[in-house]
Structure 1
Amino acid sequence: MATLLRSALALRRTPCRSSVVRLLTSSSGASSSSSTTPTSHTPEPEPAPSSAAESPSLVVDRSGLFNTPEHSHGPGAAVETAMAKHIKALIRFRGGPITVAEYMEEVLTNPNAGFYMNRDVFGTHGDFVTSPDISQMFGEMVGVWAMCLWHQMGQPEAVNLIELGPGRGTLMADLLRGTAKFKDFSQKLTVHFVECSPALRKIQRETLKCVAKGGDEATTAKDDQTPDSVPEQISQISGASVSWHFDLEQVPRGVPTIIIAHEFYDALPIHQFQKTPRGWCEKLVDVAEDTSQGLRFVLSPQPTTASKLYLTRRMRWASLQEKAEIEHVEVCPQAMKVTAEIAKRVGEDGGGALIVDYGDDKMVSDSLQGIKKHQFVHVLDSPGDADLSAYVDFPALKHVVQECAVGASAYGPITQSEFLGALGINFRLEALVRNATEEQVEALNLGYWRLVGDGPAPWLDEDDDPNSLPSGMGARYKALVIVNDSCGPPVGFQKL
């Protein structure tokens, strides 16, 4: 891996894309004693294929967020959820419909019945899988990117490594495990998780094998403790200190920072707008008037405050063609707020941020979707029991960084395939396959394809069902970086 790191650093000085990073081309360059053997994402250190190999036919590619299923709030609909009752009570209390953004925020993060708050929703046994669940290689490549950025930062003596919405902690565990041998880097890290879910914080502590400082497992944090009351934790994977926060503003300032936001932005609440003869009106959620008393979408009778503020700002950045053709627009004010905060932190403290999510390099139209048990559902069905997510508007994020003008710049977006390819994922695959069993090789190849491929798997025969395996995520998912201007373009984002 030392060869890999040197090659990755050299890549930013090489104008030819063919000079890709060679990742772990020999066992002598491994990042840890088990780095050239597929590792499990369970707490046990025994070698095993990625957990995503389990029941691959159940995996849903969350990038396909169109063709919304029919809304089923009539006869035969599912039992009304506690969240549905809460939403209807909220609407009646307000005396009218609520915004889509308010609906999303309640459904996903309400302390009592929010989708993310009280359970594990990730993996093949949950509602959806993410790239770290698919293969250990994803977290390892992000670790390589972080090390390269650290070198570009001038190898500072202390670094805040922040992950926004860390899920089960799988990405961070793979990152720490893959970089643990590089003490110059790994011992400089202090890990900060921005996580509001008590259930997920518990899983993250287990995934990172955290114990209270000093190694006393008896004082390990309990489920009901808030982030502020949790004693300092140490990850036994690398020895890094780990702490939890409710939002990014709580993470200490004044230290160079590397921020990771993987599938974080897609769950931030959005406002939806629709062009009508009376102007741009906002899409709202109301109680249905029929006997089912379910939920329904309605349009505001006239432009709302949100359309005057958020939509007007977004339309300033739109091209003339977009303004003429688009009929529906999604705007995410929280994404703009978080991006501005990231840009300010990176510009003032140094470092950079990596944003990986599904989205478009253009204005987003109508992408909001619900996912429950690996199946698409209508966004108003079973609120609180299904995930809600939308495409990320990458051009809007870049405009926010430009407007901030705080000593930071945005690069990209590039496809996930381009990003992982520049970091050498193909060579990492070769190294893992070399010491793998036949079953592990199959799982690794499938995971590799899911991360970098595009469309149906290329090994399917004419008679095979194209839906029998999930499509590749390599083109749908994009990577955007925000870095301090002193760093220059990071690995994979150089102008060719």
Structure 2
Amino acid sequence: MLRRVVLQAATHRRRRPFLPSSIYAFRQCSISASSSSSSESSQNSNSSFVEHLEGPNQSTETTAQSSTTISIDRSGLYNPPDHSHQPSSDSELVKHLKGIIKFRGGPISVAEYMEEVLTNPKDGFYMNRDVFGVAGDFITSPEVSQMFGEMVGVWVMCLWEQMGQPNRVNLVELGPGRGTLMADLLRGASKIKKFTESLHIHMVECSPTLQKLQHCSLKCTDKDDADGNLEKQIISKLSETPVSWHATLEQVPTGVPTIIIAHEFYDALPVHQFQRASRGWSEKMIDVAEDSSFRFVLSPQPTPASLYIMKRCKWAEREEIAKLDHIEVCPKAMDLTQNIAKRISSDGGGALIIDYGLNGIVSDSLQAIQKHEFVNILDNPGSADLSAYVDFEAVRHSAEEVSEDVCVHGPITQSQFLGSLGINFRVEALLQRCTEAQAESLRTGYWRLVGEGEAPFWEGPNEQTPIGMGTRYLAMAIVNKKQGIPVPFQ
């Protein structure tokens, strides 16, 4: 998620489990009544599987004469290595992934691998630890400077005013990390009482560990429900605003105007990768090699995800497709966008998406980051963050396809977004009342948020040179047409 701000000046390079049945289609299936086929087929267990179906209470002799034999040619399928009783150094997640591949009898998609690595309930990268900040694996914009959350808060308040300042608003954040963005937003908006009193905060987070960190960041406390309900209400002391947690967006109550923030959330959604082959686009899969390591393979037949690459290619120019050898598609991003658009269409409001990506087809962007450095995607799954570029054009088409009542604006660069909302004035105001050390931190944070490339003013160690995210990150808004054009997309 920084592509994420990687602390070293590295060159920025380019779940649900499913069974692509077409990959594992049986090559041959014959049914015959024979007493000898069992012994013949058992001589070559790698190429066929023979099963005898016996009726009850039959003698061995009768069974041998009348048994039905089903012979299935498995020569084209994955053939796992013989089981070894030697101790294994594999992590529990690696064992789990290999177990899925063995059970399926063939490789899994990159998307399924990515989802297990990131959100496996027991061993997923995000599930049981704090991965953010200098001591973690990557830094996100809210962790860089308080100004980021404050500027997002300005955007939310402006949209609220365009909505007619409703008395009740669901403010939803998808994948809130430590809760830093929402905390800075509420601190900045705390003096606008009419606004904060209208809010109910909904944090969509599947990680119990991160939920606890968010609870702490928002300075939450329990409060007896004023309506006499048995359940106590959780209140953020930053703005006396109620807060709720949910595992998915679908769990957030409907029927209330909704503002959704998705910052560095789309990039962690699982992607399917396709490679051009002689037979057309083939999906890249992940299998177990003879040395028991993970490896990439190509599907020999169309997979269910092929429907999404066909859909994505319809949204692109033929010339754009012709020059590509790899394509990534993210079905979950398309589906999530449509759910957001439907909710905004029915309830009113809007959504802000900020992430790194392209306003066009993404070719081959999946990467792994561990301790602020790029590592191999297939090495030590669960120890590194996996993320991919967001296809903003696919996001736009997905929203427009599902509803005529919403309008999509952008994308524009993060630098344009933050600059138009007044981050320049904010940093000047903060610099007037801070220490020299704080001023240095503000200048560094400002450059990382709106700059491009390496900061020219840096005098510290080369490996800590601030890398600007201003043009690598894009901002897009999806709003109900009744709200008009949101700032700063006019």
Kindly indicate whether residue 435 of structure 2 is the aligned counterpart of residue 437 of structure 1: yes
1:399 to 397, 400, 405: 397
CA positional deviation for 1:406: 4.0
**Identity over the aligned pairs, expressed in percent?**
61
Alignment of 1:304-323 (within 5 A): 304-307=303-306, 309-323=307-321
Kindly indicate whether residue 263 of structure 2 is the aligned counterpart of residue 262 of structure 1: yes
User: What is residue 301 of structure 1 aligned with on the other side?
Assistant: 300
User: What is residue 480 of structure 1 aligned with on the other side?
Assistant: 476
CA positional deviation for 1:65: 4.3
CA gap 1:447/1:103 in 2 versus in 1, 3 angstroms: same
Q: Name the Cα RMSD after superposition.
A: 2.1
The one-letter amino acid of 2:309's match is: L
For the residues of structure 1 that align with 2:252 and 2:166, how far apart are their CA atoms? 18
The one-letter amino acid of 1:265's match is: Y
CA positional deviation for 1:304: 1.8
Alignment of 1:174-193 (within 5 A): 174-193=184-203
CA gap 1:156/1:197 in 2 versus in 1, 3 angstroms: same
CA positional deviation for 1:62: 9.8
CA positional deviation for 1:484: 0.5
What secondary structure is seen at the aligned counterpart in 2 of 1:448? helix
**8 Å CA contact retained: 1:101, 1:269:** yes
For the residues of structure 1 that align with 2:268 and 2:10, how far apart are their CA atoms? 12
**8 Å CA contact retained: 1:58, 1:124:** no
1:81 to 91, 103, 125: 91
Alignment of 1:243-282 (within 5 A): 243-282=244-283
TM-score (norm 1): 0.80
CA gap 1:327/1:346 in 2 versus in 1, 3 angstroms: same
What secondary structure is seen at the aligned counterpart in 1 of 2:485? coil
The one-letter amino acid of 1:273's match is: F
CA positional deviation for 1:374: 0.9
Aligned residue pair count: 411
User: What is residue 378 of structure 1 aligned with on the other side?
Assistant: 376
The one-letter amino acid of 2:445's match is: G
The one-letter amino acid of 1:152's match is: Q
For residues 85-123 of structure 1, give each alpha carbon's deviation from its aligned partner in whole angstroms, at most 9, with x where no partner exists. 211111001100000010011111111111111111111
CA positional deviation for 1:187: 0.8
What secondary structure is seen at the aligned counterpart in 1 of 2:285? strand
For the residues of structure 2 that align with 1:230 and 1:265, how far apart are their CA atoms? 33
CA gap 1:97/1:82 in 2 versus in 1, 3 angstroms: same
CA positional deviation for 1:58: 6.8
**8 Å CA contact retained: 2:8, 2:463:** no
What secondary structure is seen at the aligned counterpart in 2 of 1:111? coil
TM-score (norm 2): 0.81
User: What is residue 283 of structure 1 aligned with on the other side?
Assistant: 284
CA positional deviation for 1:60: 5.6
The one-letter amino acid of 2:278's match is: P
For the residues of structure 2 that align with 1:278 and 1:320, how far apart are their CA atoms? 18
**8 Å CA contact retained: 1:63, 1:473:** no
CA gap 1:61/1:194 in 2 versus in 1, 3 angstroms: farther
For the residues of structure 2 that align with 1:156 and 1:416, how far apart are their CA atoms? 28
For residues 329-375 of structure 1, give each alpha carbon's deviation from its aligned partner in whole angstroms, at most 9, with x where no partner exists. 00000000110011111111011000000001111000000011111
For residues 235-269 of structure 1, give each alpha carbon's deviation from its aligned partner in whole angstroms, at most 9, with x where no partner exists. 01000000001100110001001100000000000
**8 Å CA contact retained: 2:366, 2:388:** yes
For the residues of structure 2 that align with 1:330 and 1:118, how far apart are their CA atoms? 28
The one-letter amino acid of 1:157's match is: N
**8 Å CA contact retained: 1:63, 1:359:** no
What secondary structure is seen at the aligned counterpart in 2 of 1:148? helix
CA gap 1:206/1:230 in 2 versus in 1, 3 angstroms: farther
The one-letter amino acid of 2:208's match is: P
CA gap 1:263/1:230 in 2 versus in 1, 3 angstroms: farther
For the residues of structure 1 that align with 2:218 and 2:161, how far apart are their CA atoms? 25
User: What is residue 137 of structure 1 aligned with on the other side?
Assistant: 147
For the residues of structure 2 that align with 1:62 and 1:191, how far apart are their CA atoms? 37
**8 Å CA contact retained: 1:159, 1:258:** yes
CA positional deviation for 1:278: 1.0
User: What is residue 36 of structure 2 aligned with on the other side?
Assistant: none
Q: Greater relative contact order (Cα 8 A, min sep 6): structure 1 or 2?
A: 1
**8 Å CA contact retained: 2:327, 2:363:** yes
For the residues of structure 2 that align with 1:155 and 1:107, how far apart are their CA atoms? 42
For the residues of structure 1 that align with 2:426 and 2:213, how far apart are their CA atoms? 27
**8 Å CA contact retained: 1:267, 1:388:** yes
For the residues of structure 2 that align with 1:82 and 1:265, how far apart are their CA atoms? 27
For the residues of structure 1 that align with 2:475 and 2:235, how far apart are their CA atoms? 30
For residues 110-143 of structure 1, give each alpha carbon's deviation from its aligned partner in whole angstroms, at most 9, with x where no partner exists. 1111111111111111111100000000000000
CA positional deviation for 1:82: 2.0
User: What is residue 458 of structure 1 aligned with on the other side?
Assistant: 456
What secondary structure is seen at the aligned counterpart in 1 of 2:482? coil
Q: Which runs of 5+ in 2 are unaligned?
A: 15-87
User: What is residue 59 of structure 1 aligned with on the other side?
Assistant: 7
